[in-house]
Amino acid sequence: MSEQSEHWGPQSVPVAGGAAGESMSDQRLVRGVRARRRIARHGVDVASLEGLGGLSIGRLAADLELSKSGVQTLFRTKENLQLAVAESARAEFAEAVVRPAQAAEPGAARLRALAERWIAYAEAPLFAGGCFWAASLPEFDSRPGMVRDALLLHRRNWLALLAGELRHGVDTGEISELDPDLTAFQIDAVLMAANTALRLGDPDVVSKVRRVVDGFLAPSPH
């Protein structure tokens, strides 16, 4: 797995062991971890529709028929809830888009695989409202803080992943000379535009995305 893709890999969550003599506190920890995951994953769907600002501890508790005090105990603050939701989105995206694409050869093939997996992620939405970052980044782009920092890190890692595959293709002579960072930015912009078009019911945008990506991945003439 490339250095950039490691940023999207699964992150471990401490879970208590399953020995027969497991203490009551360990059992509570396991239940707490599972509850956090369930709540955060539902939060991703809500945020993909309404933005992270639409999240609240009371809202998610009501949606999932949980006690507000119990959810409050797990997250403490709205910011902590938003950060947990952003991490849940990152982990789901990694499993659906990034990790499967690693099976392709580095360079053009992997870039195409990433684009295809991203199209599938938006075309048959992994999250209820489509792309989580398309809904969340505009809301926090001018709001300094930990949530903005987390979203910005996700974006930077995604662009670095695209640029890394483009750079590999250029270095090996597989694709024509180009600016990897600029091209990654352009491809990401096209994917974000495609998410909006798909939400508006324009299925033809998928073929346009593929044509754009293919144009950037033209073979080197040498």
Average pLDDT by consecutive 10-residue portion of the chain (222 residues)?
54 44 71 93 96 93 95 95 98 98 98 98 94 95 96 98 98 96 98 96 96 92 67
Q: Contacts from 6-11 at CB under 8 Å and sequence distance 24+?
A: 7/153, 7/157, 7/160, 7/161, 8/90, 8/93, 8/94, 8/98, 8/99, 8/157, 8/158, 8/161, 9/94, 9/98, 9/99, 10/91, 10/94, 10/95, 11/87, 11/91
Instruction: Identify the H or E element spanning 197.
Output: helix 180-199
Instruction: Give CA–CA dist 134/196, Å, rounded.
Output: 8
Sign of CA dihedral 198, 201, 202, 206: positive
What's the residue count for the chain?
A: 222
Instruction: Give CA–CA dist 135/133, Å, rounded.
Output: 5
Task: Give me the residue label for tokens 């609240």.
Answer: 56
Instruction: Please give the pLDDT value at position 17.
Output: 46
pTM of the predicted protein model: 0.86
Instruction: Please give the pLDDT value at position 30.
Output: 84
Instruction: Please give the pLDDT value at position 9.
Output: 54
Instruction: Give CA–CA dist 25/77, Å, rounded.
Output: 23
